[in-house]
């Protein structure tokens, strides 16, 4: 345990907040994209589809690298059990809070919007369970994955600390982006093989919501989480991520083009999803360099405004989803222009989310439930009078 706090990484805090907040334009653009969602505009927009695909292709990979980095930093600060308790409370309590307060009302609203209330009784018991898993976890899936990764991290981080104590850093001392690319390419292929095997052996399992969130999403993102921790341990890895690389930038352009081509010409009945996993595994790695290097150059400073949005980002992310669906169901049909609708949606959702954030700050119970942090009252200093 190391009680000395590490130097504040302002650019990583900012990037993490921006990645969270990108969920707002991502889901609003999804309304106007050619992708089928809960609610869609009458006509799709090519540029909003492209914008949506770009955000979707890299955002969470970069997010989990940052999560791994900060998780290991806190791992060194607390005893093992306290570290697990603190981390699980920070993500688990907001997730459990959001289910009855946000995603359950969201699910009920969608049942009426999509006219499915009359057919609910026709579903089998398993179909009802699986539907509820998909809909109630919804956009909270990454919090569930973080709880699982934190639990797995008890063993993984202990092993990393043991190896660090044995000075086995030679492998990472000579690491290059080329070597990392090969590693992530192989990891992407391994994930694709697992998915294809499951598809052959028992394909219905891939449609099971809980299995998808707990197993498949965790398997895909655990390499990014672990490499985030390794970037904290080994300065060489952090330098690779924060030093601008024209090769990573060029690779990211090629990777995104490959992603779009797979979306356009791939077939879900063939190898489309396996190919996508390989592409996004490598593309995500290259985008870590692109995002970290730009963030390190432009966002590595302390600012009261940035700190506000860093603190507000989780709450805003949690509440934005039902607000977006409300906007898509009842306001989108009233706006004929997709571009105008998109920017109007941003103003509506962000404005409502900020108002709700300020309201929740003034209610201690809600502050605890949506942050997972105990609300400690400031103690008054007693002044002794002689």
Tell me the average confidence (pLDDT) per consecutive run of 10 residues in the chain, 386 residues long: 62 94 97 95 96 96 96 93 94 97 95 82 93 95 97 91 66 86 97 96 96 97 96 91 95 97 86 95 97 94 89 96 96 96 98 97 95 65 44
pLDDT at 303: 86
Does pTM top 0.75 for this prediction?
A: yes
pLDDT at 167: 58
pLDDT at 375: 67
Say if CB 335 and CB 344 are below 8 A apart.
yes
pLDDT at 378: 45
pLDDT at 380: 43
pLDDT at 381: 42
pLDDT at 376: 61
pLDDT at 281: 97
């Amino acid at each position: 345990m190391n009680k000395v706090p590490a130097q504040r990484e302002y650019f990583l805090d900012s990037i993490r907040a921006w990645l969270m907040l990108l969920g707002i334009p991502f889901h609003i653009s999804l309304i106007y994209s050619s992708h089928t969602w809960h609610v869609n505009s009458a006509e799709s927009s090519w540029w909003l589809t492209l914008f949506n695909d770009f955000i979707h292709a890299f955002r969470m990979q970069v997010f989990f690298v940052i999560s791994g980095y900060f998780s290991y930093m806190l791992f060194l600060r607390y005893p093992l059990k306290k570290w697990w308790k603190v981390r699980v409370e920070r993500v688990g309590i907001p997730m459990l809070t959001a289910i009855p307060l946000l995603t359950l009302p969201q699910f009920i609203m969608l049942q009426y919007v999509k006219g499915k209330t009359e057919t609910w009784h026709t579903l089998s018991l398993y179909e009802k369970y699986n539907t509820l898993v998909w809909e109630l976890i919804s956009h909270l899936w990454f919090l569930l994955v973080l709880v699982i990764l934190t639990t797995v991290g008890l063993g993984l981080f202990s092993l990393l600390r043991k190896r660090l104590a044995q000075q086995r850093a030679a492998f990472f001392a000579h690491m290059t982006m080329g070597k990392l690319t090969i590693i992530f390419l192989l990891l992407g292929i391994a994930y694709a093989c697992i998915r294809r095997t499951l598809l052959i052996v028992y394909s219905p399992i891939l449609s099971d919501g809980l299995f998808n969130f707990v197993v498949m999403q965790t398997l895909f993102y655990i390499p990014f989480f672990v490499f985030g921790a390794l970037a904290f341990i080994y300065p060489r890895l952090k330098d690779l991520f924060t030093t601008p690389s024209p090769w990573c930038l060029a690779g990211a352009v090629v990777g995104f083009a490959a992603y779009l081509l797979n979306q356009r010409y791939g077939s879900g009945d063939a190898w489309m999803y396996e190919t996508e996993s390989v592409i996004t595994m490598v593309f995500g790695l290259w985008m870590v360099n692109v995002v970290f290097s730009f963030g390190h150059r432009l966002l590595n400073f302390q600012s009261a405004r940035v700190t506000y949005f860093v603190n507000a980002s989780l709450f805003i992310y949690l509440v934005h989803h039902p607000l977006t669906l409300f906007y898509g169901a009842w306001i989108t049909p009233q706006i004929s222009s997709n571009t105008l609708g998109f920017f109007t949606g941003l103003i509506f959702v962000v404005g409502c989310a900020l108002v709700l954030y300020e309201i929740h700050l003034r209610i201690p119970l809600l502050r605890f439930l949506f942050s997972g942090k105990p609300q400690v009252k400031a103690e008054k200093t007693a002044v002794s009078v002689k």
